[in-house]
Amino acid sequence: MTFILALLSLLIERFFHWGHLRAWRWLTPYQRAWQNMPGVRSPALLLLFSVSLVLIVVGVCQHLLVGRFYNFPVLLLDLVALLYCLGPANLWVDFAAVSPEHDKARVDRSLFLIAHERLFAVLFWFCLLGPLGAVLYRMTALSADNDAPFTLPALTARRWLDWLPIRIFVLLCALAGHFSAVLAAFKKHALADISANDILLMECGAAALSLTAEPPGDTPDESGQALALLDRVFIIGLVFLALVVLIISG
């Protein structure tokens, strides 16, 4: 069912604009409540405790629903949790709203960072750990924002969580775009530490599109090409996921 849930979530995210209903406004007050608790002052431990409690709640809900009504409630919970952890905003809606006067080449490069954080990394950890993985990644990524109380440990944790999925995402970009150009960029940073994650992804994303230093208007429909490339990346990723599921189940 992992493949079906991943497919459904991507279809819903791709073709329906509902991201404004996906609110994480509760997270910062929740974490500040942990920050104000006496006894523990380590930001890393407070981050761990705050995330662990939510994971325990999700895990308990899963356990209580297993085996009921042919497992339909637990599958519904998994799908809702995955959809809630994508985003928070809709990638395609946000990118379409970028005004023409913006530097599209720069936007296209950052698009790969955004696509990885909003979609691919969440799907990756969901496929490995189920809804617990999706919640773990999204809470960590949101906690790494500047307004969160545990920014520094969350940023480090997110970079560790990003290390492997970014490299898989880059290889999928190579298959969906200009393979040799991406491979050349990939070799420079593939074994680098977590500090090189963003550089690797942006350089390989640009290589997949063959972006140059030309003015943004010189490349026809460059933004459309970037979104089309992302669509191909997720289709190829789903094909590989289906193959892995077939191998494991067979």
Average pLDDT value for residue range 58-72 = 90
Residue 138, amino acid: R
Percent of the residues in the chain that have a pLDDT greater than 70, as a whole number: 88
Percent of the residues in the chain that have a pLDDT greater than 90, as a whole number: 52
Going by C-beta distance under 8 Å and a sequence separation of 6 or more, which residues neighbour residue 113? 198, 201, 202, 205
pLDDT of 215 higher than 50:
no
Cβ-contact 239, 104 below 8 angstroms:
no
Q: How many CB atoms lie within 10 A of CB 134?
A: 27
Q: So what's the pLDDT on residue 106?
A: 63
Greater confidence (75 vs 250) lies with: 75
Give the angle subtended at the CA of 222 by the CAs of 192 and 95, to the nearest 5°: 80
Residue 247, amino acid: I
Residue in 145, 122, 141, 142 with CA at minimum distance from that of residue 132:
122
What's the mean pLDDT when you consider all of the chain? 86
Q: What is the largest CA-CA distance in the chain?
A: 59
Cβ-contact 173, 58 below 8 angstroms:
no
Q: How many CB atoms lie within 10 A of CB 150?
A: 24
Q: Is the peptide bond before 88 cis (omega within 30 degrees of 0)?
A: yes
pTM above 0.85, yes or no: yes
Q: So what's the pLDDT on residue 211?
A: 60
Residue in 226, 27, 229 with CA at minimum distance from that of residue 140:
27
pLDDT band of 225, cuts 50, 70, 90? confident
pLDDT band of 191, cuts 50, 70, 90? confident
d(CA 105, CA 248): 41
Residue with tokens 């297993």: 66
Average pLDDT value for residue range 56-68 = 92
